Structure 1
Amino acid sequence: MAFHLPVQIDDRVTGTVEVVEELGDSKYCLSTTVRNTTQEKLALEGEAVVLMDK
């Protein structure tokens, strides 16, 4: 994860998570972004590998 700017109290944010790759064995790579819509700037971006239960 890369944090680009702080989010303040009363800021509005939009989070987006996209499944970008299935890795097998119920593991998936996710791309995540959080935009601060108050400032119209990117607040956070990154990737994560998660294990999904059936």
Structure 2
Amino acid sequence: MSQIDLKNEISAKEVEPLLPVEKKLIGFSLGLGIALLVILIAINHFVPIKI
């Protein structure tokens, strides 16, 4: 299969909308990641690592 055929196949593919469950999972994952990042920053602020 040539490179040109692959590009045509990829560009011709229809875009499917996200399901509501997928949107909830994305939101949950982003929210959890941001919350954990804030918690880690707070812990580092109050208990700094001393080398």
Question: Is the pair's TM-score, using the shorter chain for normalization, greater than 0.5?
Answer: no
The two structures have a TM-score, normalised by structure 2, of 0.19
Indicate the structure with greater strand content.
1
